[in-house]
Amino acid sequence: MYYAKITGWGKCLPPAVLSNADLSTFMDTSDEWITSRTGIRERRICHCNFSDMAIVAARRALAAANVAPEELDLILLGSLTMDSLCPNTASLVQNAIGARNAASIDINSACTGFLYGLHIGTNLIKTGAHRKVLVIGGEFISHYMNWARRDVAVLFGDACGAVVLEASTERTGLLAARIGCDMDTSSAIQITNFGSAYSRLSDDFLYLGWNFEGQEVFKRAIKGMAFACEDVLMQTGLRMDDIHIMVPHQANRRILDALAKRLDIPEEKIMVNVHKYGNTSAGTIPVALTEALEENRIRPGDYVLMASFGAGLTWGAGLVQWGDRTVALQVSDADLPPCQQSALEILAPHIQRYKAHAL
Ligand SMILES: CC(C)(COP(=O)(O)OP(=O)(O)OC[C@H]1O[C@@H](n2cnc3c(N)ncnc32)[C@H](O)[C@@H]1OP(=O)(O)O)[C@@H](O)C(=O)NCCC(=O)NCCS
């Protein structure tokens, strides 16, 4: 019986920062509204492709693990904002990093994509089917955003993170997971006007709509994550007091506070970076995990609780026992191409298109 040890971790944040003040230059919103309702102060906007962020995060995670790309036998990539419909983005990452011995799979479970990937990758290692798996989670959500929708556009940002899993006989890695999906709320977060469910002959084909029931998602998120967390504690025989740090999906500071209250976990045990990056969907957990390690908030042997929710409505939790190493073995110099534009300049064509459509 193998465990899937997390041996490498990495993140990629695009450099262009979009502040709440920037948003209020082109939509009817304010720093006060966004900060008080969500805790978000700024987010990042990607100036290249999603796969570019995924490649940088992947290279950084591989360096931290000191694993060569050829050693990987599987790449799982959680995202809903692919570079193109075909080929899948995991295969673009595979090609760029030279992981010639890997299979490559995209997982579209929205914000829960990374956690789903960690669960699948871990269990494929446990069965002996795979030995070294790269799990990536991230999003280029600004590209798919409807910039005329102030209730949605202020919430999200772009980022990517990755971890390396390696077969190990030590009791470490993801010890238990509970994942699920509330099938009756599939329309609570929905990107419309893209895909075969919508008219392929419409002139508005590239005008993406968003169905977004914020309050319904808010309630379901807390309920789903709390249920999943209690389930993984039960599976492992641990109590909330045994958890050293919680690394939850970062969608809204108020959701994190309500979750902490419901689970009776002290605020200082919760990793929070939503104020810096907003909701980066499948990117939130691997980015927050990497930052928790960089800030020395995880020690060898610690119990790390993860929880997530997203469109579907998908939800889940995972309980990880950290291994014996919290320091990267190597540091990669991989980086994104230089960015010459401000976030507002990058977004200008998108904003114009959605403004023109609204007229
Ligand atoms: C979206 C969310 C922040 C909204 O907060 P809320 O307290 O529920 O706010 P409401 O939806 O009740 O909106 C209150 C008012 O603010 C307005 N408003 C919405 N977005 C606004 C913005 N960006 N700036 C200013 N006002 C805004 C609304 O129009 C509404 O005005 P009205 O009362 O005149 O109709 C909150 O519901 C939430 O975070 N939900 C979870 C969503 C989420 O995380 N989704 C991603 C899942 S992975």
Is there a contact between 228 and 180 (Cβ–Cβ < 8 Å)?
Answer: yes
The residue whose CA has the least distance to atom 5 of ligand 1 is 37
Choose one of 20, 30, 31, 37 to mutate for the ligand 1 pocket test, by most ligand atoms within 8 angstroms of C-beta: 37
244 lines ligand 1 (CB under 6 A): no
Residue 189 makes CB contacts below 8 A (sequence gap 6+) with 110, 210, 211, 212, 213, 217, 310, 311, 312, 313
* Chain segment 172-229, per-residue pLDDT in tens: 999 999 999 998 988 899 988 888 888 766 666 677 888 989 899 999 999 999 999 9
Write down the pLDDT at residue 203.
66
CA 358 to chain centre: 31
Q: What is the mean pLDDT of the chain?
A: 95
What residue ranges in the chain does DSSP mark as E strands? Answer: 3-12, 16-19, 42-45, 74-78, 103-107, 132-139, 159-168, 173-181, 189-192, 209-212, 245-248, 303-310, 314-321
**Domains (range + CATH), the chain:** 3-358 (3.40.47.10)
* Chain segment 46-103, per-residue pLDDT in tens: 999 999 999 999 999 999 999 999 999 999 999 999 999 999 999 999 999 999 999 9
How far is it, in rounded angstroms, from Cα 76 to Cα 127? Answer: 17
210 lines ligand 1 (CB under 6 A): no
269 lines ligand 1 (CB under 6 A): no
Average pLDDT for 147-170 = 97
Write down the pLDDT at residue 172.
98
Q: What percent of the chain has pLDDT over 90?
A: 89
The residue whose CA has the least distance to atom 11 of ligand 1 is 214
Examine the pLDDT at 283 and tell me if it is beyond 90: yes
The residues annotated with a catalytic role in the active site are 111, 249, 279
Q: Which atom of ligand 1 is nearest to the CA of 156?
A: 46
Instruction: Of 171, 177, 238, 203, give the one whose Cα is nearest residue 5.
Output: 171
Residue type, 296: N
252 lines ligand 1 (CB under 6 A): yes
* Chain segment 296-309, per-residue pLDDT in tens: 999 999 999 999 99
Write down the pLDDT at residue 193.
84
Average pLDDT for 242-267 = 96
How far is it, in rounded angstroms, from Cα 62 to Cα 164? Answer: 7
Write down the pLDDT at residue 204.
62
Write down the pLDDT at residue 198.
82
What residue ranges in 32-87 does DSSP mark as E strands? Answer: 42-45, 74-78
* Chain segment 118-136, per-residue pLDDT in tens: 999 999 999 999 999 999 9
Give this prediction's pTM.
Answer: 0.96
How far, in Å, from the CA of 162 to the mean position of ligand 1? 30
37 lines ligand 1 (CB under 6 A): yes
* Chain segment 89-115, per-residue pLDDT in tens: 999 999 999 999 999 999 999 999 999
- DSSP annotation of 250 reads -
